[in-house]
Structure 1
């Protein structure tokens, strides 16, 4: 993710925040089943006597406290269980923040893209990010709690903001809510990934799209490929749109963003290269501008004499075909791969962009934050906490912090 032996953002951190994992279930056993309705307190060794209506609320508190103490232990185990299940305990008891909006609040318009293989666990965070549901696990938890099986059909759907999970599932069943000639591309996709989605969402043959992007000069792009020139956005097309018209629209949208950011025409490709690295490396909007500064500082002639190379793992992953590896770290094979995107092997920027960059990344490439940083490393892949440093000794401490986090969080994308 950053120079000098640290992880790249890549495709990792992919597990959506707030979506329960199988690892959590394994560690808590029947307690997980208690929350999902698959078992009861009687099944795990504590039978709750039938309370009177007057004492029912108090009884529910006592039952759950006893369960937590029995399963997790009074001290460390109980604390760990509360970290894992605290919000769900509160929601179960009615004292916590509900995961769903109240009915009747839906307003405006929002869109969500569903791709082949999507499930409740993968769709749930998409809905939250689009402002449709209240939490990243709202839909997933609603489906679990109500034992709902639902087959998600690929496509772009027009929904509303602040919907209940029940209303979302109802809307996804309505054919009119599926936009047959729309496509939605997120930031950070490669050209190949973008073409796959365009083909799937618009029903255009992949071979025809490959032919449409074969000659970048047809769209006024002075580069050998259109990598980085397919802008991430939502597009609406008319029936019968051709692959060439689709690509032309997306390239023009990229030019629009470059012009809005004040990028000189001669610098477009260079800014897109930097912006694409920022898009793959940075975690928060503030980090976008800091990562931009690290890149600029590394490219300074005096620093190049010291460090020699940019050393960005995201570029190494791209050059070695490891963008979809599911980890933020690059393999030894990738770092030894001789290709023009290997910034551990060659000085300066890579030969071209590595992904589609959005407006924020392009703006950050033009306006790096002020700072002396030469290194950065994301020390917590769940929260995205990133440490920026200006000396090797400081950086090595941050790398050790990241390694400790990875050790404590196996199978987390390190």
Structure 2
């Protein structure tokens, strides 16, 4: 209807405008009329801005009642009030306008590739158990935790399918491996050799354990190991004496150079020709300048042979040991040659350990008195008949034998054996006495008779000859 206000008219007014007439479309009430009645309502002219003809009173435009603030305004005021009070109310989000309906293909979201989940290492139960164990012992400090982790982590993780990538679990698969540690090998070298031999999985696993425990040490030698051992079990086995494959050589006291060469070749599997060649080059062993042979400088003892060494190296070990013993006995290097000659003579002639200093005194008294030593042991060595204890008249009178002390005064020209520690001590400190004779009267027991006069000595010789006839196996 033309006389009814439009919705635009209703909401176009402001609160400051004066409202003189109100209408209600819902109740049908009539608004108060203006003073000049009968004039049509010209709401449309007022809105259009038209002016009435002159002389006429402009019609009053009816207005509607002030609708008051909108719900949006009220909500804004309420939020402002809440902010002032310090507790802002959550603002409702306006409903977005509906977008024009698109086709089904456009509306459907693009297909997405399934997201691949990364499997966490922490999901394995073995890891959590390991962490729990470490937390229990946390009072022991970082070093304890580190050691326990490296020692038990492979075993615990393997129980739950979590075997580490750089290590095996357990003590091997039963396949034996001979593993050798040589002198000079360091921890890193040993770790690398274990991995190359197939004993351990990686060198890093072994080396990390060695770095964590500086007290671990290894002895040169050959060890019986197994394939696929954990790093920790391999280290433990290398420190076990039961796993060591020992090759020993036993050099009895008084053994000659010829005998030692044979024993060394047999024990080391080195051809005897190579051992002889090494021994012949005696100057390469740093002996005293007056030494004429390697004889006397190879200390008799039991040696554990390190693998893969040369013949010269094995002999050098024996020479080094002799030098240590001479030094320990207080013998200066300038007297090494004389001492080993004297000690080698004592070693071959004495029987019982208690008699060594007495035998030394007999020889020293004879040297001091200018007497011939008359040692059958020296004659036999020079004649090459060391396989028997007696000599013949012809051998004792052979002046061409430089070792023949029945002909040549003083000590022999060189050592006749390789003496042990007791003989060296006796050579350095002979017993006190006036004896100038001695003879062993029982080769089984080593009983020896010492005499000051020749007559006493002859009685002892008769006693020995009687015993020798009863034991022809010694002749």
User: TM-score normalized by structure 2?
Assistant: 0.47
**Bigger RCO (CA 8 Å, 6+ sep):** 1
- Give the whole-Å Cα distance in 2 for the aligned partners of 1:232 and 1:192: 13
Q: Which among 350, 362, 376 is matched to residue 438 of structure 2?
A: 376
- Partner in structure 2 of residue 190 of structure 1: 256
- Partner in structure 2 of residue 245 of structure 1: 313
In structure 2, stretches of 5+ residues that fail to align are 1-241
Give the Å deviation of 1:177: 9.7
Structure 1 residues 404 and 250 mapped into 2: Cα distance closer, same or farther (>3 Å)?
Answer: same
Give the Å deviation of 1:178: 9.8
- Give the whole-Å Cα distance in 2 for the aligned partners of 1:335 and 1:205: 36
- Partner in structure 2 of residue 227 of structure 1: 295
Deviations 1:33-69 (A, max 9, x none): xxxxxxxxxxxxxxxxxxxxxxxxxxxxxxxxxxxxx
Task: Say whether the 8 Å CA contact 1:381–1:412 is kept in structure 2.
Answer: no
The correspondence of residues 349-368 of structure 1 with structure 2, limited to 5 A, is 349-368=411-430
1:342 aligns with 2:387: no
Task: Say whether the 8 Å CA contact 1:180–1:202 is kept in structure 2.
Answer: no
- Give the whole-Å Cα distance in 2 for the aligned partners of 1:378 and 1:211: 37
- Partner in structure 2 of residue 67 of structure 1: none
- Partner in structure 1 of residue 350 of structure 2: 282
- Partner in structure 1 of residue 339 of structure 2: 271
- Partner in structure 1 of residue 462 of structure 2: 400
User: TM-score normalized by structure 1?
Assistant: 0.54
Give the Å deviation of 1:213: 1.4
1:330 aligns with 2:391: yes
Task: Say whether the 8 Å CA contact 1:180–1:201 is kept in structure 2.
Answer: no
Structure 1 residues 287 and 203 mapped into 2: Cα distance closer, same or farther (>3 Å)?
Answer: same
Task: Say whether the 8 Å CA contact 2:439–2:449 is kept in structure 1.
Answer: yes
- Partner in structure 1 of residue 266 of structure 2: 200
Structure 1 residues 320 and 262 mapped into 2: Cα distance closer, same or farther (>3 Å)?
Answer: same
For residue 303 of structure 2, give the secondary structure of its aligned residue in structure 1.
Answer: strand
In structure 1, stretches of 5+ residues that fail to align are 1-175
- Partner in structure 1 of residue 384 of structure 2: 321
Q: Which among 269, 279, 290 is matched to residue 213 of structure 1?
A: 279
For residue 213 of structure 1, give the secondary structure of its aligned residue in structure 2.
Answer: helix
Give the Å deviation of 1:410: 3.4
Task: Say whether the 8 Å CA contact 2:373–2:406 is kept in structure 1.
Answer: yes
Give the Å deviation of 1:240: 0.4
Count the aligned residue pairs: 231
Give the Å deviation of 1:182: 2.2
- Give the whole-Å Cα distance in 2 for the aligned partners of 1:381 and 1:182: 29
Give the Å deviation of 1:181: 3.2
Task: Say whether the 8 Å CA contact 1:289–1:367 is kept in structure 2.
Answer: yes
